[in-house]
Structure 1
Amino acid sequence: MKRFLIEISIIILILSLIYSCIYTYVDVAFEGSLPDNFSGHLSFLWRGFYMGLPASFLINGSACGIKFYQELGKIERDHILLQQAHLENQLKLLQDQINPHVVFNILNHIHILMKHDTELADYLLMKFSDILRYQLYHCNQNLVSLDKEIEYLQNLIEVEKLRWGNELDVKSTFKLNSKKALIAPLLLVPFIENAFKYVCRLPGQTGYVKISCKEENNTLYFYVENSYSEMAVHKKKDGGIGLQNVQKRLKLQYPDAYDLKIESDNLIYKVNLTLKLSENEQ
């Protein structure tokens, strides 16, 4: 700023001097009213200098305005690129937080089953290969096909159902009307993970999980309900991904295109998500 002010002052002075010379030796001399003595010349020069100051300020102000406008456009473009890069990094970070969590849970289930039910462990291992294949080859995209994402969720639910057996009552329904709909990968996983994580498993009680997913007119209606106990919630306060990451992803990827309602009442936890989906133009 100091250098800028010095340069502007010098330019204003130079422009004013040029204008005073033009005023004195061109306009005045052409009219024949220029005095012969030096002091007369000097007074005309000063008069031209003062008259040239407003014009110099105007010229410099216009030039600076144009330059500032160009710089502002460049700053805004750089800011948009920076925001886009930051957004992509945030989304990548949130997705990376999801993948290891799901993989860890499934591997832990298989490890436990290998000790007393090898056939079921083998079946879960096949399901795990499908889950891992989906994560490796599809989840590195910004958007994936909704039917592929639903297939992944169904595999995940099947793993949980087999893991807990008769301890849980699990019901899930999926209905898709369009195969062109697209969705951000692994967006819905934390809702299902939390439902199975916090569901009530007290002795003598059978917990339940209800999952409903319907796509209609390029809008997704996703609903999860599960019973829970205060004891389970307090024991697992620290765990997992949490709903905060999902809410961040929704704000980043679906601004003004979703409605998320989370309710907890009478030991029943409900998640209701309405999401406007993208559509594949191919």
Structure 2
Amino acid sequence: MVFGIAIWIQIQADVGMYNAFLQTSIILISSYIFAHFLTNKRLPKALISKNMNQFLIEALIVILLLSFIFSLVFTYININAITPIPPGVLSHLSVLWKGFYLSIPASLLINGTACGIRFYLEHGKIERDHILLQQAHLENQLKLLQDQINPHLVFNILNHIHILMKTNTELASFLLFKFSDILRYQLYHCNKNQVILNQEIQYLQDLVEVEKLRWGNELDVKATWQLNNQKAFIAPLLLVTFIENAFKYVCRLPGHKGYIIISCKEENNTLFFYVENSYSNLSTYKKKDGAHGIGLQNVQKRLGLQYPDSHILKIESDDNVYKVSLTLKLSIDNDEQ
């Protein structure tokens, strides 16, 4: 509408109100048709197919056609013209040609502006779709990694209880009680992106307690937990693999008493987590899953997805001692839950 009013005001003083209205209407209709064809038909398809060269050729053709239409309008739709066109084909062609190249800037401006606006909108839509796709892919990856953790842990605990039921029913009953707490946490809390740090640490403490009762005097286990801000948030089941691996691969050779050291400290919304265990090259430490294991690979993937720039993970293995240290910047608000 603004474009049409501007044209009408510009030309009505020279050609009259009726001619100005007629010329403006034809210019607006033709401009809309061509701009609509480029912006709504060709440009979105070109962006999807990434075939911008063909679109540029089509845009050039449209600009030239629209310029030719403008030339026809200003040349022939001019009733009661003061200076009529001289007779002769060459005269008509010269007038048309002059009107044609004078109309090219206007045609270029019209279609360029329309395509520029549409390109901005389409690019924003593509970016939003890309972000949503990345988010969905991230959620699927995290769900897959989390599902790989739960069955393995549940199987281990059930196997412990099954063995103890044959030898010590009272201890098996206590472990079953602890297992119910562990299972309740997995079922009702771990379906969130983040959980309260205190709940996650309580879950780890229950797991360590179960393992200590299972191995008894065969292992020397020392665990310290220090939380200053228990209301901080952390991704669920992120630390359990480190503890599982420590109990799974700790040295249990005859005549050797293995040890496990676990330290968990939260300070200034930063978690310092450390696990150390003894192992032996003669044991099964590196036979099944390799030095890191598939569980540890999953944790590394999760850290990369959920804490890409806010974690430091160090893994060391020397002198029959395996060490894992993790520094993690915790979330204060549960925005992702």
TM-score by length of 1: 0.91
**Partner residue of 2:196?**
145
Q: Distance in 1 between matches of 2:274 and 2:90?
A: 93
1:213 to 264, 289, 292: 264
Q: Distance in 2 between matches of 1:20 and 1:54?
A: 12
Q: Contact 1:218–1:278 at 8 Å: present in 2 too?
A: yes
> Structure 1 residue 6: deviation in Å?
7.4
Q: Contact 2:250–2:260 at 8 Å: present in 1 too?
A: yes
Q: Distance in 2 between matches of 1:237 and 1:258?
A: 24
Q: Distance in 1 between matches of 2:260 and 2:135?
A: 38
**Partner residue of 1:253?**
306
**Counterpart amino acid of residue 286 in structure 2:** H
**Partner residue of 1:12?**
63
**Counterpart amino acid of residue 102 in structure 2:** M
> Structure 1 residue 9: deviation in Å?
5.2
Give the SS at the match of 2:286: helix
> Structure 1 residue 230: deviation in Å?
1.4
Give the SS at the match of 2:178: helix
Give the SS at the match of 1:86: helix
Higher relative contact order (CA 8 A, sep 6+): 1
Structure 1 range deviating more: 139-148 or 53-62: 53-62
Structure 1 range deviating more: 2-11 or 109-118: 2-11
The answer as to 2:253 corresponding to 1:181 is no
**Partner residue of 1:236?**
288
> Structure 1 residue 43: deviation in Å?
2.3
- Cα gap change, 1:150/1:12 in structure 2, threshold over 3 Å: closer, same or farther? same
Residues 99-127 of structure 1: CA deviation (Å, up to 9, x unaligned) = 11110000011111111111111111111
**Partner residue of 2:221?**
170
Q: Distance in 2 between matches of 1:91 and 1:224?
A: 23
Q: Contact 1:260–1:272 at 8 Å: present in 2 too?
A: yes
Counterparts of residues 1-282 of structure 1 (less than 5 Å): 1=46, 4=55, 8=59, 11-25=62-76, 32=83, 34-231=85-282, 232-237=284-289, 241-280=294-333
Residues 38-89 of structure 1: CA deviation (Å, up to 9, x unaligned) = 4312321123223333442343233222222211111001001111111111
Runs of 4+ aligned structure 1 residues displaced above 6 Å come to none
Q: Contact 1:207–1:226 at 8 Å: present in 2 too?
A: yes
Q: Distance in 2 between matches of 1:261 and 1:164?
A: 27
Q: Contact 2:194–2:334 at 8 Å: present in 1 too?
A: no
TM-score by length of 2: 0.77
Give the SS at the match of 1:73: helix
Q: Contact 1:190–1:241 at 8 Å: present in 2 too?
A: no
Segments of 5+ residues of structure 2 without an aligned counterpart are 1-45
Q: Contact 1:182–1:277 at 8 Å: present in 2 too?
A: yes
Q: Distance in 2 between matches of 1:235 and 1:34?
A: 95
Q: Distance in 1 between matches of 2:139 and 2:293?
A: 22
**Counterpart amino acid of residue 184 in structure 1:** A
Greater Rg, structure 1 or structure 2? 2
**Counterpart amino acid of residue 149 in structure 2:** I
Q: Distance in 2 between matches of 1:126 and 1:209?
A: 24
Identity in percent: 71
- Cα gap change, 1:240/1:97 in structure 2, threshold over 3 Å: closer, same or farther? farther
Root mean square deviation of aligned Cα: 2.4
